[in-house]
């Protein structure tokens, strides 16, 4: 019989327990598909005595995950502890130095230290695989590194944080404010211990930076992601965008243009008839566009025990079969430093204003927009009970710089009674 692939599992939280369950319940299936047994030999976590609902008695225990990484009876280290420094980083580095491959679900670690770790893996003749770090159970990393390897990728667009999508969907369906749904989601345990990782877009931006590196052959650059969370989205924006045929999503976009590498994670409007517009609840969706394949759309669970453990084990199975792909799809030494884009590609914008209901108010706004080179595509005014009228404007394609220039001049008109809201409309 072929020698088994022996796993050292660092982390026994939700995902780690899911991995144990898959290995224990699908032992014969894994062996048949890999052509060799796939076994856990050692585990490590903070508390040995905690009841995790799975039998760990057959596995060696290590209090220190770095010691786990150096064991002679471990071929592959699975790192599902989380955190961009500390034990996760130390364990990954120790595993590579000891000649082990690493499978990780740690988006923050790779988004911040990915280039250095990829170079360390390459120097050691090892690989780091991280399907589970991006979009949960959706095999987007494998699709980019393998299925679309012959394509020049032109754009990545996606909803990459299920918690944010849940909040925005719930606001619309229940007519609740952002704060009401935030408190509800936090109470249900849908948000990270630090909720800003979710609602601030940081978690999703980590994922976008990793995908952009693979897609465009660049060194991963999380600091280059233009980042805006969903905290400023109001129920009025959701309702009025819907009235004009749009949904609001926290959208990640990466594309290479003459301006440089554009990476954005921000609330955007998308047509309500589009796949992204119809995405509800905590589901993720990633759209990839390649010069040969055109556009493909992948949808699935973005988090949770089963989907994330499934993604981890997909990487483990590749290693068991002898399939080895460079960490970011090509040798780390060939990844180039991309020039961050100076501004985004022009797009239409949604603009919400409150104007004094008096003659000439709208004309003043239109003149300022025109002077800034911003053309109005369509406009809608709503009934109102007070002296200020809610007005929505959809612009033709423009730059955010031009729009911001116009918005900055609105205050001097004396007719705009509240801070304007501007949200990009993304073509999908």
Q: Which domains does the chain have, with CATH numbers?
A: 5-133 (3.40.50.720), 145-301 (3.30.360.10), 349-425 (3.30.70.260)
Backbone region of residue 201 per phi and psi (left: phi > 0; alpha: psi in -120 to 50; beta: other values): left
As a whole number of angstroms, the distance between CA 285 and CA 275 comes to 8
Going by C-beta distance under 8 Å and a sequence separation of 6 or more, which residues neighbour residue 3?
A: 36
The mean-pLDDT minimum among 77-86, 96-105, 134-143, 335-344 falls in 335-344
Q: How many CB atoms lie within 10 A of CB 213?
A: 29
> For residue range 17-51, what is the model confidence (pLDDT) as tens digits?
999 999 999 999 999 999 999 999 999 999 998 99
**pLDDT score recorded for residue 190:** 84
Give mean pLDDT, residues 152-181: 95
Q: For residue 385, what pLDDT band results from cuts at 50, 70 and 90? A: low
**Residue 207 designated active-site:** yes
**pLDDT score recorded for residue 191:** 84
- Token digits for 306? 């089963």
**pLDDT score recorded for residue 161:** 94
Interior/surface letters 280-310, b for 16+ CB within 10 angstroms, e for the rest: eebbbbbbbbbeeeeeeebbbbbbbbbbbbb
**pLDDT score recorded for residue 381:** 86
Mean pLDDT of the chain: 94
Q: For residue 4, what pLDDT band results from cuts at 50, 70 and 90? A: very high
> For residue range 186-223, what is the model confidence (pLDDT) as tens digits?
888 888 888 999 999 999 999 999 999 999 999 999 99
| pLDDT at 1 > cutoff 70 | no
| pLDDT cut 90: percent of the chain above it | 85
CA dihedral 369, 426, 423, 397 (to 10 degrees): 0
Q: Is residue 265 helix, strand or coil?
A: strand
Report the candidate in 123, 132, 366, 117 with the shortest Cα–Cα distance to residue 219: 117
CA dihedral 113, 164, 301, 159 (to 10 degrees): -70
Going by C-beta distance under 8 Å and a sequence separation of 6 or more, which residues neighbour residue 42?
A: 8, 9, 59, 60, 61, 62, 68, 71, 73, 74
> For residue range 104-139, what is the model confidence (pLDDT) as tens digits?
999 999 999 999 999 999 999 999 999 999 998 999
For residues 387 and 174, which has the higher predicted lDDT (pLDDT)?
174
Q: Exactly one of 207, 247, 354, 364 is catalytic; which is it?
A: 207
Give mean pLDDT, residues 357-376: 93
């Amino acid at each position: 019989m072929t020698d088994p692939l022996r796993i050292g599992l660092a982390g026994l939280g939700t995902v780690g327990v899911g991995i144990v369950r898959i290995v224990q319940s699908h032992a014969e299936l894994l062996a048949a598909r890999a052509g060799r047994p796939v076994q856990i030999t050692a585990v490590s976590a903070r508390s040995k005595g905690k009841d995790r609902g799975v039998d760990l008695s057959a596995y060696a225990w290590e209090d220190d995950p770095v010691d786990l990484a150096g064991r002679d009876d471990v071929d592959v280290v699975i790192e599902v502890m989380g955190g961009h420094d500390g034990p996760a980083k130390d364990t990954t580095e120790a595993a590579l130095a000891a000649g082990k491959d690493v499978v990780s679900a740690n988006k923050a670690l790779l988004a911040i230290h990915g280039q250095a770790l990829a170079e360390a893996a390459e120097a050691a003749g090892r690989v780091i695989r991280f399907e589970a770090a991006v979009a949960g159970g959706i095999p987007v990393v494998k699709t980019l590194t393998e299925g679309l390897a012959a394509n020049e990728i032109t754009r990545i667009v996606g909803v990459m944080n299920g918690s944010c999508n849940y909040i925005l969907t719930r606001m619309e369906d229940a007519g609740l404010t952002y704060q009401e749904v935030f408190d509800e989601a936090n109470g249900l345990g849908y948000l990270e211990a630090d909720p800003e990782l979710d609602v601030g877009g940081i978690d999703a931006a980590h994922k976008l930076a990793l995908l952009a590196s693979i897609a465009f052959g660049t060194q991963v650059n999380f600091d280059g992601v233009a980042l805006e969370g969903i905290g400023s989205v109001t129920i009025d924006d959701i309702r009025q965008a819907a009235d004009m045929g749009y949904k609001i999503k926290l959208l990640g976009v990466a594309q290479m243009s003459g301006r440089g590498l554009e990476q954005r994670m921000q609330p955007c409007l998308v047509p309500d008839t589009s796949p992204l517009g119809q995405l509800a609840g905590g589901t993720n969706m990633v759209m990839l566009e390649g010069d040969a394949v055109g556009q493909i759309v992948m949808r699935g669970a973005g988090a949770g025990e089963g989907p994330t453990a499934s993604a981890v084990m997909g990487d483990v199975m590749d290693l068991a079969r002898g399939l080895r792909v460079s960490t970011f799809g090509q040798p780390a030494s060939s990844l180039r430093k991309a020039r961050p884009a100076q501004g985004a590609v022009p797009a239409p914008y949604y603009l919400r204003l409150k104007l004094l209901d008096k003659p000439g108010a709208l004309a003043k706004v239109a003149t300022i927009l025109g002077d800034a080179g911003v053309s109005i595509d369509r406009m809608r005014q709503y009934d109102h009970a007070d002296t200020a009228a809610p007005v929505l404007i959809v612009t033709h394609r423009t730059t955010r710089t031009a729009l911001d220039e116009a918005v900055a001049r609105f205050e001097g008109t004396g007719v705009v009674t509240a801070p304007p809201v501007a949200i990009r409309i993304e073509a999908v």
